[in-house]
Amino acid sequence: MRSSHDMPFGTAMLADGGIRFRLWAPAVRQVELLYLAGRWLARAFLA
């Protein structure tokens, strides 16, 4: 059985083909999101 539910963070595919990204990272000062060759990469820089 497969099920899904909304998470307060992470990525989610939208019905219109878009992507929603939510992030919870209170200890970082900067975040970079990169889309390279079909893959999402994230880098966080601590404060």
Q: Is residue 41 part of a domain?
A: yes
**Which residue segment(s) compose the domain that 31 sits in?**
10-46
Q: Is residue 27 part of a domain?
A: yes
Q: Is residue 2 part of a domain?
A: no
* Full DSSP string of 26-40: TTEEEEEEEEETTEE
Measure the CA–CA gap between 43 and 34, rounded to whole angstroms: 8
Measure the CA–CA gap between 34 and 41, rounded to whole angstroms: 5
Q: Is residue 23 part of a domain?
A: yes
pLDDT of residue 15: 92
pLDDT of residue 29: 86
What's the number of domains the chain is made of? 1
Q: Is residue 5 part of a domain?
A: no
Using 50, 70 and 90 to split pLDDT, how confident is the model at 46?
Answer: confident
pTM above 0.85, yes or no: no
